[in-house]
Amino acid sequence: MTTPAGAVYLPAAAIAERVSELAAAIDRDHRGAPLTLVAVLKGAVVLCADLSRALSIPHRIDTIQLTPYRGSSGGRIRLAKDLDRPVRDEHVIVVEDVVDTGLTLLNVVRALSARGAARVDVCALLDRPHRRLADLDVRYLGYTASERPVVGYGLGHRDRHRSLPDIRFLAA
């Protein structure tokens, strides 16, 4: 398969090892509690699936999808797909692909808390803390991200390249 994606940034083997480490931490922190992984569509689906398979504790998976309001470039979003089941009294881990400003994710965390979740944590594959505008705790973090755009392992560009097994820099 030829791809316009560039050099490998994070190889698949390193990602798999890190996901296993994140799952072990989640197993420790959430043992004995009802747990729901909430994948933010579309980019976090691959991470969520791998994380789910690596967990040893019982859990369920749900999804949400956020889209920007038309004409909005200021971070305003709307909920395009809500959870399928309530999360009252459950531990929830919001699984995200990349955290940039943190504003959107902070609103998701607050909304889930307001719905009665007993605990809401964030698990992100990539984090860009230098872009952070919101005070957001990313409890389970894969990697601090490069500033360069990346694709693969669920991350897409114009909805392409999500199926690459590793994370690559987007070719210029």
| CATH code for the domain in which residue 68 is found | 3.40.50.2020
- In the chain, beta strands by DSSP E: 5-10, 35-41, 60-68, 77-81, 91-99, 119-127, 140-144, 150-151, 167-170
pTM higher than 0.85: yes
Domains: count for the chain: 1
Enumerate the active-site residues. 100
| Predicted confidence (pLDDT) at residue 139 exceeds the cutoff of 50 | yes
Predicted confidence (pLDDT) per residue in 92-108, tens digit? 999 999 999 998 899 89
Instruction: State the Cα–Cα distance between residues 140 and 100, nearest whole angstrom.
Output: 15
pLDDT of residue 67: 81
Q: Which domain holds residue 52?
A: 5-170
Q: Residue 1: which pLDDT band, with cuts at 50, 70 and 90?
A: very low
Average pLDDT for residues 83-88, to the nearest whole number?
A: 96
Predicted confidence (pLDDT) per residue in 5-49, tens digit? 789 999 999 999 999 999 999 999 999 999 999 999 988 999 999
